[in-house]
Structures are given as structure tokens and as C-alpha cells.
Structure 1
Amino acid sequence: MSSSPGIKSREHVDMMYISIESAIALASVVGNVLVVLVVCANRALRNTTFCFIVSLAVADIAVGVLVIPLAIIISLGFNTHFYTCLFLSCLLLIITQGSILSLLAIAIDRYLRVKIPTKYSIVVTQGRAYVAVCLCWILSFLSGLVPMVGWNNHDFQGNISSSSEIICEFTAVIRMDYMVYFNFFGWVVVPLTIMITLYAEIFRVIRRQLNKRAEATCDGERYYRKELRLAKSLALVVFLFAVCWLPIHVMNCINFFCPQCHIPKIVMYVGIFMSHVNSALNPMVYAFRIKQFQVTLVQILRRCMLCKATQPTPCPTSMPALTEKADVNL
């Protein structure tokens, strides 16, 4: 008996989704592994800012290694116990939340670097940066595990016993009011609003300082170019974050506030992989624009792909000057 056209169409959509997600996962893992390798290889990049960037890279590696495969498995709908499916869904939320909070930590770090440049090294120490990274992941675990302690769809599944199996789907175990009110409004809208506010203030401070320095110093034009590059990077960060994450959450809001509204499966898939593709873009936005990162990356790629010995990374005895150089080129 031949399959119906509707079933073939759904299978085609599923295969397209799996293929795109696999490509995103590969790009995310490769790009972010390179970020970690470059930071480990270049001493000039081992500062507080890159502590947050490495945290973001680790979160994005986990997105490629765990979140995307879990999203694919859950989208296919396999039979499992309710709490097994719920835990897998919570794991997905924890890792993606870690990525969002790492983005917020980087925004705060960049704001402090621009707002209080003379006191930055005193306020943002390496130890405090480690504490901030740990806090990001603790908050990610706490917010992502909330469904495990009761805010889930167990009561809506009927009289299922602990040994009963269900078709594992994200919406079958995770409540939409949690996704909309808690996850979206509380842990996406709020960080996004804070980032927009911080970046707006960063632009204001940069413009003011550029005008002063352009008038007071002979190399004001050179400084302007460097700061303008940083400003464009920050604007790109906010734009990509909003573009990648808002569609899937807007669709969740539509499903929650308008249950009778039908969203095509392919549209949901587009929203899901757009949220995941942000992890593959982060290395290019945060790291690939740094000149010292690019030099070290080329050396690593030449050694791995062309079997050529790398030149030792310049490491002057004056560490403050080296750190300052890395920061200026960001």
C-alpha cells in the first residue's frame, strides 16, 4: 500500500529539518571549539572578557552536541516515560538559557569596560568573572529545572502511572504558560531589554568620548575607527539575538493565547533552528572580529590542515600593554 501524499510531505519536512539542524550543530561545535582553542593558545586573550566568551562558547558547544540532537529526537516523537521526556526537555532549556545569560554577562562586561575604563580592572577581577560565570549557570539550572518540580503537563496527561509511556514531544510535557510567562517574559524579554539598554548607553558614551578625543588628540580618527567597529559589533549582537530567538517565542505565545490558531509545522521548525543558529553565529560576532584571535586561528588552522609549525604567539613581558591591545582591537 502506498503512503498518502500528506505523510510523504511531513516526512520530507522532517528530513529537511534534521538536515538543517545537523548542519547548524556542526557549525556551532566547530566554531566554538576553535574559540576555546584560540583562547587557550593565546595568553593575551586570557582576560575577564574572554572568561565570559569562553562560557558562551561552552554553552554553544553544548547546544550543538546536546540541544540540537535532543530537539531532533523530541520532534520525531518517540515513546518514553513522562519524566524522562520532561528531563530531556529541561536539559534543552538549561543549556539554551546558559547561552542567553552568557550573552547578558558579556553585555554587562562591555558596558563596564566603556563606562568605567579606569576602574574596570579593579571592579572586574578574574575571580569575580569566575563567580559571574558560575552564577549564570546556577541560574540556568534553577530556571530550566522548574518544570521538574511541578510546573509541567503531568496532570493534563490523564491517569498515567510511573510506568506508563507517552509520545515524547516538547509541548506534551512542558506547559505553555511556563514557556510564555516564565521562560519568555522572565528569561528572554528581560535580558534582551537589559542588553538593549546597556548597548544604547554604550553607544552614547562612545559617541561622547569619540567627539572629545577627536578634538583633543591627533590620532582621534584612528581611535574613532576602532570604537566604531566595536559599536557595530554590539549592534549586531543585539540584532542577531532578537532575530534568532524571538520567532519561536512569538509562536509559543500564539499557541498559548490563541489555541485555535494553527501554525504550520515547517514554520515551527524554522523558528526552532533560528534559535539554534545563534550558537553558530556567536563565534563570528564575538571572537572572529578580534585581530589577535584571527592571527592565532590562522596559526592553528595551518598547523592542523597544512601540517605547518605555528609561529609562537607574541607575548611581551608587559602584560598590561598586551591586554590593553587585545581590548582595543575588540
Structure 2
Amino acid sequence: MNTLDEADLCFPQFNSSYRKITRSPAVSMLIYITLSSIAVLTVVLNLLVIISIFHFKKLHTPTNLLLLSLAVSDFLVGLLMVFQIILIDGCWFLCDLMCSLYFLLDYGITSASVGTMVLISIDRYVAICDPLHYSTKVTQSRAKVCVLLCWLSSAVFQGLVLRDNVRHPGRYNSCYGECIVVVEYVAGIVDLLLSFIGPVSIIVVLYVRVFVVAVSQARTMRSHVTTVKASGSFNLTTLKSERKALRTVSVVITVFLICICPYYCVTLTGGDAVLSASSVAFVMCLFYFNSCLNPLIYALFYPWFRKSIKLIITLEILKPGSCEANVV
């Protein structure tokens, strides 16, 4: 009986060891294989997105720069899945500092992803609701500045939220092999407002407005009652292109909200007052799965992504001048 009890502990040599999550070997193996597969796909697919947008100059548009920011966050999520795989049985075998850093990175990347979604919503709002001034209001330089501010503010804010856990790693652990962080009540409420409720409200309001305008434009184009007045290169083809981009990012944002909402539902119910790795495993895996889905969505809706993948896989990008290739 003592042998069985010791086998259930993360560190049998310590009486105060954390107890493993008991599963059948078949279930554990299935979880390992599933999470490992998702992690590899997430890293590889998002790396393809990053290389595509970064390498090909034709893809250097404000909208794609925002998608690049999202791909970077998804890529990092794929790397973080290594820690989630380690935590499958509930045991944390690394040091307490690594536990705190893991949650800090997780919080920061999540916050940056949500912030990027808000920027994408604003980009589509301007593109559809004010298309004549889109090229002057939304530029590459402004997009770069917004992305940089989004990541910096996310890192600083989440650093403040988890400052006590980073300063005193393992402070709230009750036994060996446990990995938890404690978020103060006020800090948790502020984090909930700034990282979820506020951004989601902005996204919903903007997209309601965008869809109303998009429907109106579609009716106008079908009836041919009025023509789209434009200056420079803006025309009906441009409008159709913007609406196609709207459809794509709408799917991305919808899937994102579906995957991330469970995590914040746990927050709303007070379930993450003490965040243990085992208690949030499911919602975190759901968020991780979303990072794998985004590149697949691009592959379905964006011809340029499919063309870019072909050039990358065939190593055509190594040829001189390949960055000038017309993949659009």
C-alpha cells in the first residue's frame, strides 16, 4: 500500500509531495500524442505564416502585419505547449522560477493576442466603413507602432499582475511538485476588464458596425443602383478584396473568441483565484488548439498563403530576388 501511495506522488522522497493525476496508461498516451501533434503543427504552420509575410514584399501590408503579430503569438503558444505536456500528470519537475515564468509568458502572450485581435478589428472597421481614407489612416508604420505598443503594454501589465509570483517563486506552493500562481483580487478584476471584457466589447461593437456597412455595400453592388466613387487605385475590385479580407479575419476572430472564452469563464466564476496547472489544463489546451487553427484558416481563404507555402517548401525563397515574387 505504501508502494502504491509513493507511486502516486510526484516526488516520493518527500512526504509533502504533490499527488499525480491518476489516468490509465492508454488515456495518458493518447493525451501525450494529441498535445505533441498539436504543438508540432502549431509551430510549423505559424512559422510558415511568419516566413511568408516577413519574406515576400508583396505581403507587407498593414493587415498582414497584424496577422504576422498574431502568428508570432500563436508560434510562441506552440512552444509553450511543451510545458503543458510536462504538466499532463499534474507534476512540475522544473524549478519554481520556471513555473512563474511559464505563467507570465502565458498571460503575456494571451494578452498580446487579444490586443492584436482588437487591432485587426479596427483595421477592418476603417477598411470597410471608411475605404476612401483607409490608405492614409492605416499605414505600415502606424501598424508597426501599434503592434509594438500592444506587445510592450501586454508584457508590462502582466508583469505587474504577477509581480509577487515572479519576485518570490514558489511562494504559494503548498507541496513539492506543485505549480501555481496567485493573483490578487483587484489585479484579477483589472486583468479581466482590460484583457477580456473591454477588448471583446470593442470587437463586438466594431464588427456589428462593419457587418451593417458590408451588407449595405453588397446590396449596392448587386443592384448596381449606385457606383462606388473612388480616388486613385480604389475601385470595386478593391472593395471586393477588402470584403474578402473581412470574411477571413471574421472567421479568425470568431474561432479565437470561442476558444479563449472558456478560460475567462473560469476567471469570472472565481475558479482561477489560485491557478493550478491541472485545473486549467482543458481551457489552456483549447486556447492552444486555436493557435493551430489560424494558419489552416489562412490556407482556406488566402491564395497568397498557399502560394507562399509552395515557394517555401520547394526552397524557391532561397533564390536571389525571391522576395519580389508576386504571391498575391
TM-score range, shorter chain: 0.7 to 0.9
The answer to whether the 8 Å contact 1:113/1:120 transfers is yes
Compare 210-219 and 84-93 and name the one that shifted more.
210-219
Provide the rounded CA distance (Å) in 1 between the counterparts of 2:108 and 2:212.
34
The change in CA–CA distance for 1:49 and 1:94 in structure 2 (over 3 A counts) is same
Specify the code of the residue in structure 1 equivalent to 2:251. Answer: L
TM-superposed deviation, 1:225: 7.2
1:301 to 305, 309, 313: 313
Question: What is the number of equivalent residue pairs in this alignment?
Answer: 304
The answer to whether the 8 Å contact 2:101/2:166 transfers is no
TM-superposed deviation, 1:140: 1.4
Identify the residue that residue 232 of structure 2 maps to in structure 1.
none
2:132 to 118, 122, 126: 118
Provide the rounded CA distance (Å) in 2 between the counterparts of 1:92 and 1:155.
16
The answer to whether the 8 Å contact 2:97/2:170 transfers is no
TM-superposed deviation, 1:187: 0.1
Provide the rounded CA distance (Å) in 2 between the counterparts of 1:118 and 1:179.
42
Specify the code of the residue in structure 1 equivalent to 2:253. Answer: V
Answering whether residue 282 of structure 2 is matched by residue 274 of structure 1, we say: no
TM-superposed deviation, 1:29: 1.0
Q: Which residues of structure 2 form unaligned runs of 5+?
A: 9-19, 229-235
TM-superposed deviation, 1:255: 4.7
1:35 to 42, 49, 53: 49
The answer to whether the 8 Å contact 1:85/1:168 transfers is no
Answering whether residue 207 of structure 2 is matched by residue 207 of structure 1, we say: no
Specify the code of the residue in structure 2 equivalent to 1:109. Answer: D
1:85 to 99, 109, 134: 99
Compare 5-14 and 101-110 and name the one that shifted more.
5-14
Compare 235-244 and 12-21 and name the one that shifted more.
12-21
Identity %: 24
2:255 to 232, 240, 249: 240
Identify the residue that residue 268 of structure 2 maps to in structure 1.
253
Give the alignment of 1:79-228 within 5 angstroms. 82-150=96-164, 157=171, 166-169=176-179, 172-175=180-183, 177=185, 180-216=188-224
TM-superposed deviation, 1:41: 4.0
Answering whether residue 83 of structure 2 is matched by residue 73 of structure 1, we say: no
Provide the rounded CA distance (Å) in 2 between the counterparts of 1:105 and 1:250.
23
Specify the code of the residue in structure 2 equivalent to 1:71. Answer: Q
Residue 9 of structure 1 aligns to a residue in which SS? coil
The change in CA–CA distance for 1:173 and 1:10 in structure 2 (over 3 A counts) is farther
Provide the rounded CA distance (Å) in 1 between the counterparts of 2:140 and 2:120.
14
Residue 173 of structure 1 aligns to a residue in which SS? strand
The change in CA–CA distance for 1:156 and 1:181 in structure 2 (over 3 A counts) is farther
TM-score by length of 1: 0.74
The change in CA–CA distance for 1:218 and 1:74 in structure 2 (over 3 A counts) is same
TM-superposed deviation, 1:258: 10
TM-score by length of 2: 0.75
1:284 to 283, 296, 310: 296
Residue 119 of structure 1 aligns to a residue in which SS? helix
Q: Which residues of structure 1 form unaligned runs of 5+?
A: 317-321
